[in-house]
Amino acid sequence: MNEQTPQMVPVDPDSDEPLRPYNQGLTPLHPPQKNLIRINMIIRALILLALGLAAEILLQVQLGTTPGMVLIPVALFALMLVLALPGRIYRRWGYDMGDEQLRVLRGFLWRTDTIVPFNRIQHIDVAQGPLQRAFGLSTLIVHTAGTHNSIVTLPGLATADAEAMRETIKGHIRQDMI
C-alpha cells in the first residue's frame, strides 16, 4: 500500500490563513503598510459616512423617510472597509527582485502579476508621502520603455529597502549599458 505523507501548507503569520500559490516565494510588503492601508480606509470610510449622512438628511427632509435607512447600511459597509479589507489587501501584495527582473504581484479582486525586465527600465523613483514618512515607508516607482503599464509602483517598502532596490536596479542598468 502506498501511503502519502501529509504536506505542510505555508501559513500567513498575521492571520494564520494558508498562503495562496500566488503569494508563495514572494517578499511581503513591510508590516507597517497594513496600518497605512487601514488609515487610508478610515479616511475613505469617513468620507462615505459624511455622504451617507447628507443623503440621510436630504431624504428625511424631502421624503420623510425613516431614520437610519441610508446611514445604517453605509455604516456597516464603512466598518467592513476598515476592519476586513486592509489585511486582505496587504496579503495580496508581494514582490520578488531577481537577477534580471522585478516581479510585482498585487490585487484583491483583480490580480495583476507584472514582470519588469531590468533592461526595459528607463528610470526609477523612490517617493514618500506624509503618512508614509510617518511609518518609515516608501514607494518604488519604476518607469519602463513602452506605453501600456509603463509605470510600475511598489508601495509599502521600508525606505532603506526601497533605496537599496533602486541602487541595485541602477547597477544592473549600468551593467547592461557597458
d(CA 55, CA 63): 11
What's the mean pLDDT when you consider all of the chain? 86
- pTM assigned to the model: 0.79
Q: Any alpha helices (H) in the chain, and if so which ranges?
A: 32-63, 71-83, 85-91, 130-135, 159-177
Q: Residue 119: helix, strand or coil by DSSP?
A: helix
Grid cell at residue 120: 526595459
Write the single-letter amino acid at 126: V
What would the mean pLDDT of 39-60 be, rounded to a whole number? Answer: 96
What would the mean pLDDT of 57-69 be, rounded to a whole number? Answer: 90
What would the mean pLDDT of 70-82 be, rounded to a whole number? Answer: 95
Whether residue 11 has pLDDT greater than 70:
no
Taking only the tens place, the pLDDT of each residue in 93-116 is: 999 998 899 999 998 788 899 999
Helix axes 32-63, 71-83, angle to 10 degrees: 180
Q: What element of type H or E holds 94?
A: strand 94-97
Q: Which residue has the cell 505523507?
A: 5
**Topology, domain 95-177:** PH-domain like (2.30.29)
